[in-house]
Every structure is written in structure tokens, then in C-alpha cells.
């Protein structure tokens, strides 16, 4: 565990076995539609309820001393959904930023947005810029909202930018290394996720943080996103604490 994580880990570490706390938790918030269907409600009610679960997750992450929380809110592939659902999700993001930004700021949360801005309406882009600008100097939890995000699209943009530099003669291909690629991703400056949680029972990545999750631990939970609460979060972190991260080497216990 990094020194940074050790400094910020006291709450859960005390409650659990003292195992490692994740510095960066990334969540694939899935199952809003099924949560609603189970109750005979339209899908958008699940999305609406999902906002409350985001608020809970942000609060819990701060309490646990987690430094970075990424939430997958809208994928590059979610445009394939019916137009009314897409526009509801766009409206929900706007309402979330308008309603919650002041409180996030007063709680010292730094907001970052990853994903392609170009494909978004100008009023949403302005709001996202405002959220980042207002909170940029905050020193508490970094909340990363993945919106119109796709891991493959992100890598493709990075490749394109690097190829352009090579073409212009300002970059020697032999100097391209993994660190440089990381600098061209939207997540520049953010450590890779230690733990990825996916709710809803699906066990796939769905184009989330493709580059960054090379050595992340995955925990799949059988709860729908609107039901994700402090206990679910704590269970996932405890499961993470039981994992043996080897990064291709040997277990610390084997050394
Ligand atoms: C997650 O819930 C929210 C988004 C992907 C925007 P879903 O809308 O995918 O809910 P299910 O998976 O259909 O239940
Ligand atoms: C992943 O969920 C995207 C988000 C949570 C924003 P999806 O519901 O879109 O993923 P698939 O289609 O089941 O893989
Ligand atoms: Mg889904």
C-alpha cells in the first residue's frame, strides 16, 4: 500500500483486519433499469434513485479515506439506448451538477470529468467545465465522473495525438513508453484504480478504464445500483483487503 493510502486509511482499517485500503475505487454503477423493472416502475425511476446511491458512495468514500472515486455514469455505447432514456440521463447529469456542486465544493471534493466532451451539448460542457474549475484546488476526495466515456475511444485519441506528433517530427516513436501513453489519457495524473466494483451481477468491463485496470482487483456485487449502500461498499473493500495483489511477482508471504 502506498504511503498516501496508509495516511488516509484509518476508518475501515480499524474496523476490519488492518488489510490494505484502496487509494482509488472505480464503480460501474449498473442495474438501475432492473431495479425499476422489479418494482413495476419505468427505467428512469431507477436512474433517479441511482443519484441517491452516488451521493451515498461519495460520502462513504470520503469517510473511508479513499482518495479517488470514479463513477461510470454514461458510456460511449449508451447512445444506443432509446432517445428518451438518453435525454433523461443527460438531464440527470445536469441536475446533479447544478444541485450538488456547491455541497461537493464545501466538502472539499475535487471533481474531474473523463470522457469525450465534443459529443455533448454545449450547456452540459459548460457545466462540466464549471464543476472542474470551481473545485480544482480542493484537497479532499477526487470524484471522477466518467461521462460519454469509452476506454477504447480514450486509447484511440491518445494514439492519434501521439501519431500527430510523430508526423510533425516532434516525437521519436522509440521514446513512446507506457508512462507517456498514460499522460495522453483523460486520467492523466490519477493513479490506476486499485479496486473496481460492478453492481447488478453482470461480470464484464463494458469498455471502462481499459488501460488503467490492467492490475485492478474486481469485485462483482449482486445488488442493483440504487440499493448500493455503506454496507455494500464496506463489503467490497473488505473483499479487496483479502486479495493478494502480486502484479506478476510473488506474494509478499512467499518472499
Ligand atoms: C446503469 O443502469 C446506468 C447506466 C448505464 C446509465 P442500467 O440502465 O444499465 O440498468 P440495467 O443494466 O438495464 O438494469
Ligand atoms: C455500463 O453499463 C455503463 C455504465 C454503468 C454507465 P451498461 O448497462 O451500459 O453495460 P452493458 O451494456 O450491460 O455491458
Ligand atoms: Mg446496465
Q: Provide block-wise average pLDDT over 10 residues at a time, the chain (255 residues).
A: 38 44 98 98 98 98 97 98 98 98 98 97 98 98 98 98 98 98 98 98 98 98 98 98 96 72
Atom index in ligand 1 nearest the CA of residue 29 equals 1
Q: How far is the CA of 91 from the centre of ligand 2 (A)?
A: 18
CA distances, 145 to each of 12, 27, 35, 49, 249 (Å) = 24, 10, 22, 17, 32
The reply to whether 205 sits in an annotated binding site is yes
Q: How far is the CA of 31 from the centre of ligand 1 (A)?
A: 5
The reply to whether 111 sits in an annotated binding site is no
Q: How far is the CA of 110 from the centre of ligand 3 (A)?
A: 27
The reply to whether 206 sits in an annotated binding site is yes
Q: Are 7 and 175 spatial neighbours (Cβ–Cβ below 8 Å)?
A: no
Q: Which pTM does this prediction carry? A: 0.93
CATH topology of domain 22-151+192-242: Undecaprenyl pyrophosphate synthetase (3.40.1180)
- Ligand 2 pocket, CB under 6 A: 28-30, 72-75, 78, 202, 204, 206
pLDDT of residue 29: 99
Which protein residue has the closest C-alpha to ligand 1 atom 1?
Answer: 30
pLDDT of residue 251: 87
pLDDT of residue 20: 85
Question: Is there an atom of ligand 1 within 6 Å of 28 CB?
Answer: no
The whole-angstrom separation of Cα 59 and Cα 50 is 14
Is 78 annotated as catalytic? yes
Q: Which ligand is located closest to the Cα atom of residue 38?
A: 1
Q: Sheet with 110-114: list strands edge to edge.
A: 110-114, 142-149, 68-75, 24-28, 195-198, 217-220
- CA-nearest of 51, 118, 49, 115 to 77 is 115
The reply to whether 76 sits in an annotated binding site is yes
The whole-angstrom separation of Cα 174 and Cα 156 is 19
Q: Ligand 1 pocket: which of 33, 92, 197 to mutate (most atoms <8 Å of CB)? A: 33
Atom index in ligand 2 nearest the CA of residue 28 equals 5
Q: Ligand 1 pocket: which of 200, 222, 223, 227 to mutate (most atoms <8 Å of CB)? A: 200
pLDDT of residue 255: 63
Q: Which of 67, 78, 194, 235 is catalytic?
A: 78
Amino acid at each position: 500500500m502506498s504511503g498516501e493510502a496508509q495516511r488516509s486509511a484509518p476508518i475501515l482499517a480499524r474496523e476490519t483486519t488492518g488489510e490494505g485500503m484502496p487509494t482509488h475505487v472505480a464503480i460501474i454503477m449498473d442495474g438501475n433499469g432492473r431495479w425499476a423493472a422489479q418494482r413495476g416502475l419505468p427505467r428512469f425511476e431507477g436512474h433517479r434513485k441511482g443519484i441517491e446511491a452516488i451521493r451515498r458512495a461519495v460520502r462513504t468514500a470520503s469517510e473511508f479515506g479513499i482518495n479517488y472515486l470514479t463513477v461510470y455514469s454514461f458510456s460511449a455505447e449508451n447512445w444506443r439506448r432509446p432517445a428518451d432514456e438518453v435525454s433523461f440521463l443527460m438531464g440527470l447529469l445536469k441536475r446533479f451538477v447544478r444541485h450538488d456542486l456547491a455541497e461537493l465544493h464545501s466538502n472539499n471534493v475535487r471533481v474531474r470529468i473523463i470522457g469525450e466532451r465534443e459529443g455533448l451539448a454545449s450547456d452540459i460542457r459548460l457545466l462540466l467545465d464549471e464543476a472542474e474549475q470551481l473545485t480544482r484546488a480542493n484537497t479532499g476526495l477526487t470524484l471522477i465522473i466518467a461521462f460519454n466515456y469509452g476506454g477504447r475511444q480514450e486509447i484511440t485519441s491518445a494514439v492519434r495525438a501521439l501519431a500527430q506528433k510523430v508526423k510533425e517530427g516532434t516525437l521519436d516513436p522509440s521514446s513512446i513508453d507506457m508512462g507517456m501513453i498514460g499522460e495522453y489519457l483523460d486520467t492523466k495524473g490519477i493513479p490506476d484504480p486499485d479496486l473496481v466494483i460492478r453492481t447488478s451481477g453482470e461480470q464484464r468491463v463494458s469498455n471502462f478504464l481499459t488501460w488503467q485496470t490492467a492490475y485492478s482487483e474486481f469485485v462483482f456485487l449482486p445488488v442493483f445500483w440504487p440499493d448500493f449502500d455503506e454496507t455494500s461498499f464496506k463489503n467490497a473493500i473488505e473483499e479487496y483487503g483479502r486479495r493478494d495483489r502480486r502484479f506478476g511477482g510473488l506474494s509478499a508471504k512467499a518472499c
